[in-house]
Chain A
Amino acid sequence: MEITLLQGLLILLVAFICAMDQTFEAFYWFRPMVVGFLTGLALGDVTLGVKCGAVTELSYLGLLTVGGTVPPDPLMAGIMTVVLAHTTGQSPEAAVGLSLPFALLAQWVGIGFNTGYVVIAHKCDEYAAKADAKGLFNLVWFAVIFKAAVVALVAFLCSFALQGPIQSFVNTFPTWLVHGFEIAGGLLPAVGLGMLLMVMLKKENLAYLFLGFVMATFLALPNVLPVAITAAALAYINYAHEKKIDEAKVSIEAANEGGEIDGI
């Protein structure tokens, strides 16, 4: 079945709302389970939408955002699985596979934003220097809305107008360019951490950075919590030490003063 313009516009609306929530990671409307349901509503076939949503949700459950990586986009996968099942009459299981190029395209859009929005962070630095709270506040919300609008437009084009051309575009897209941005995406957090070190790094604390690094590298830890607990323990040992020294200093000073008084 063909997608009508009205259905296309409804999908645009669904994509816009869900893409905002994808930034929020709050109501989980960006997950295929909900996106599929809403796309089904837009197409007037709720049962199909729900079924497709369930299948896609299970397929994308393993692909979680960890650190700064961006997996194939679950939002676009949810929309396109329903759209493709609706237009081609394929089963939901087959449609998930067909939706992958679109999920990849949305993933690239995501990588593009995560790179391009470096500019937003730097603009926010300027606002911070000028104490312009309103400027920062508005810019952050502009960033949310602009990103959602672009994703919605992509979803509209994918589902309504340019399904075929986009599929072939994704297939012929120079993957080295995408990979190049992936490599850059893996390195950019170093800029953030480097700036953090500019503020935090003191010579006497440098050893702790290496301790944390070695733990995380060699202990196959599930997260950074064990490092933090060790750090807290070391910080306590350091505190107990310092306190003893400071107390000793105070008592020596007191003793000295006392001595002087005695001397008089």
Chain B
Amino acid sequence: MRVVRLMASNENTERKLSKKDIHRMGLLSIGMQGGFSFERMQAPGFTMSMLPTFQKLYGDSEKDLSEFMTYNMQFMNTEMHMGAFLMGLIISMEERREDRNLIAGIRNGLFGPFAGLGDAIFWFTLLPISAAICCSLAQEGSVLGPLLYMGIWFVAAISRMWFAELGYTVGQKFVENIGESTKYLTEAAGILGMMVVGGLIPSYVSLAFSDTLVFGIGGTTVQSVFDGILPNMLPLGFVFLTYWLFRKDANVLVVILGIIVFGILMALLGWM
């Protein structure tokens, strides 16, 4: 069943990636935040980092390249090392010619939780510890402080190679068993993705009225009324508003300009 599917779906199955390819992708993922914007965050750099490796798999097949670039240009924000891991995972599944809906679902379901994991390791553990040690050396003016700091983070920087390799290996092991359960996995990835997106809204989208905006004189604040109904209801509502606008074929750039005008207006009025 599986063999038939592979042969039917693509003639380039003999193309394989070497460990070196994966390591190179991990190093290239250093550029993962290139073109960072509030709207799509790391999507451009995330896509860029995988392109040379993907092209090694699929050559110049325009259809595949376009599909790959399109689903990877969706919103992305994760911790950088976990990003390299995720790239390894994605590429291993692309190599096995898995259904791209499944790959995109896994991508969108995992980046958020992985961000939490990676931040816990690098931002909240390695950074404070390395800074504390090196600052105590540097406070007396010793060059050893910054040099040690640079050394620690050099290893952390190139460790992206190994994170990518780990993701690739995990992907291979995991993908081996997919076979006919693709349908179930796609559903599971959909559930994971939706729930994580719901969980990301309160921390990623902020929309709240200023504490100084009150009803009448000395009345309750406007924001406390909303919070009394459901905290974070404004960010949630706003995400659905943009979704609804896109369903109505609204132009994205118009929506973005609208948001900027709205922000400046609210700041001028002092409402937010």
Contacts and interface: CB of A to CB of B under 8 A. Distances in A.
Chains A and B belong together in one complex = yes
A137 B46 CA distance: 10
Contact of B38 (A118, A227, A229): A118
Most chain B CB inside 10 Å of its own CB: which residue of A26, A29, A187:
A187
B30 A24 contact: yes
A204 B266 CA distance: 36
A242 B190 CA distance: 14
Interface in A212-264: 212-218, 221-225, 227-232, 234-236, 238-239, 242-243
A164 interface: no
B17 to A, nearest CB: 17
A24 B256 CA distance: 26
Contacts of A185: 38, 263
Contact of A33 (B71, B135, B194): B135
B13 interface: no
A73 interface: no
Contacts of B270: 176
B contact patch SS: helix
B44 A189 contact: no
B272 interface: yes
Nearest to B105: A200
B192 interface: yes
B226 interface: no
Interface of B: 30-41, 43-45, 47-48, 51-52, 55, 62-63, 65-66, 69-75, 77, 80, 104-105, 108-110, 112-113, 115-117, 119-120, 123-124, 127-128, 131, 134-135, 138-143, 145-146, 149-150, 153-154, 156-157, 160, 184, 187-207, 230-232, 235-236, 238-243, 245-247, 252-253, 255-256, 259-260, 262-268, 270, 272
Given A128-B73, A213-B198, 20 more contacts: A24-B157, A26-B80, A37-B138, A51-B139, A54-B134, A57-B131, A61-B127, A121-B35, A128-B66, A131-B63, A179-B267, A185-B263, A187-B238, A193-B201, A194-B246, A197-B243, A198-B247, A200-B197, A212-B200, A223-B115
